[in-house]
Amino acid sequence: MKKVYTLATAICLFGLSSCDDGKLTYNDIDFSTVTTVNRCSDQGDGAKVFYKLKETDAFILIADMDNFMRDESISVVDVEIDGTNTSLAYRKYNGRVENTSICTFPSPSVPTVVEEIQASPGATLRTQRMVSIRNNDLTELIGDHSVGLTYQYNFTILNVNFQDGETSIKYDRMPFGTNNYRSNTLAFKFLNNDNTLKTINACQTQWITLSDKEAMILQLAASDFPTEEGEKVIPLSDTRPLVYRQYARAGINFTEVCENEGDIPGNTPANNNRLVENWSATVGEIVINTRWTRPAGDEEPKLRHEITLKNVVFMKALYDNLTFHKTILPFGTFVQE
């Protein structure tokens, strides 16, 4: 039988119920010095439990954020704190509170809850999805071109009221904090182990370079390649974009990337190689350096094209303002037959 988890289930599992019926003795709930929001786990009921700790105090938010924020094209979502599906609670313990007191079932016997007050139904939980970027932007082709991404939920509580008997604490706007819910690295390792350019392959009018679970794709026609030695610069544009993709698993091949704009189908729907990052660039330059090969013996020389990318501005799909700049990147090489 399928299990359905409700707020009441989470409250039970993680001990989010008051152990004391006493009146709230504070007229202010101040966690402003604690900006980082923790999460009990990445999966299951614990994924719905977000909290902040300060000495003997805890501030606990229960919200199914992975469901509320599942549409990545939406950056801000408002959800009602109704006390049933989404809740907010302040707690005070009789000793210093640790993570285990919030996330362990059964919770430790000490410290114990001496006071608790729930936010009254009707407040609004506003969540903004943010992405922090750490970009290694090099000026040399060889080196670490990686980009670190930290995905974050930034929580703000609007028009919230904590009522306990005759005690009422109201806030028009209460910043709750930021939770780092996922991290990822775009490696951009498109050089061989000896720092030479990888061999690229054609797929229709696309040229694809692969590395581990990453792919970059360029639109280049046969007429774009020089017929003599020299350098040719082609600007990226809306009709000639550069695409970067990263998949959940390694082992991708040229045909899979060429034929599938999204996930790569597996033997079963559950076995799909999921597309986890999709970025594109319409600003930047494709630089093609062409030279003749120097074959031994009686072989005819051929044109070798080496492609690099310069001054590229990547933008994440579904995001209008999430970008990073790369001064130079390797793309690949091939010998024209």
What are the residue ranges spanned by the domains of the chain?
7-130+154-178, 189-336
DSSP code string of 139-204: SSSSS---EEEEEEEEEEEEEEEEEETTEEEEEEEEEEEEEEEEEEEE----B-TTSPBPBPEEET
**pLDDT above 70 for 23:** no
Name the strand (E) or helix (H) holding 318.
Answer: none
Residue whose C-alpha is closest to residue 237's, from 190, 289, 201, 280: 280
For the chain, give the mean pLDDT.
90
pLDDT score, position 256: 94
Q: Specify the range with the lowest mean pLDDT, choosing from 18-32, 40-54, 102-116, 216-230.
A: 18-32
**pLDDT above 80 for 19:** no
**What would the two tokens of residue 223 be?**
């007429």
pLDDT score, position 273: 95
**pLDDT above 70 for 22:** no
Q: Specify the range with the lowest mean pLDDT, choosing from 181-185, 235-239, 267-271.
A: 267-271
**What would the two tokens of residue 113 be?**
């809850």
Residues 205-213 have a mean pLDDT of 95
pLDDT score, position 14: 46
DSSP code string of 79-129: EEE-SSSSEEEEEEESS---HHHHH-SSPPSSS-EEEEEEBPTTEEEEEEE
CA angle 219, 256, 70 (to 5 degrees): 90
CA distance 136 to 278: 19
pLDDT score, position 27: 62
**pLDDT above 50 for 7:** no
Reading across the β-sheet that carries 123-135, which strands appear in turn?
Answer: 76-81, 123-135, 147-164, 167-186
Residue whose C-alpha is closest to residue 216's, from 134, 290, 326, 295: 326
pLDDT score, position 10: 45
pLDDT score, position 310: 99
Of residues 244 and 205, more confidence is placed in 244
**271 by DSSP, 3-state: which?**
helix
The confidence band for 13, taking pLDDT boundaries of 50, 70 and 90, is very low
Q: Which residue has the tokens 């001064």?
A: 327
Q: Give the CA distances from residue 325 to residues 184, 204, 215, 246, in Å, rounded to whole numbers and listed in that order.
A: 17, 28, 18, 18
**pLDDT above 80 for 217:** yes
Radius of gyration of the chain (CA): 27
**pLDDT above 80 for 187:** yes
CA distance 242 to 312: 9
**24 by DSSP, 3-state: which?**
coil
Greatest Cα-to-Cα distance within the chain, rounded to the nearest angstrom: 98
**pLDDT above 50 for 16:** no
CA distance 116 to 149: 37
| pLDDT tens profile 243-259 | 999 999 999 999 999 99
pLDDT over 70 percentage in the chain: 92
79: amino acid identity, one letter: V
Query: pTM of the prediction?
Result: 0.84
| pLDDT tens profile 70-93 | 888 889 999 999 999 999 999 999
Kind of pairing between the strands at 113-118 and 87-93: antiparallel
Residues 298-302 have a mean pLDDT of 87
163: amino acid identity, one letter: Q
**pLDDT above 60 for 312:** yes
Residue whose C-alpha is closest to residue 216's, from 83, 331, 130, 49: 331
**pLDDT above 60 for 167:** yes
pLDDT score, position 15: 45
Residues 318-328 have a mean pLDDT of 93
Residues 95-120 have a mean pLDDT of 91
pLDDT score, position 26: 55
Residues 32-43 have a mean pLDDT of 92
Cβ neighbours of residue 84 under 8 Å, at least 6 residues apart?
6, 7, 121
The confidence band for 318, taking pLDDT boundaries of 50, 70 and 90, is confident
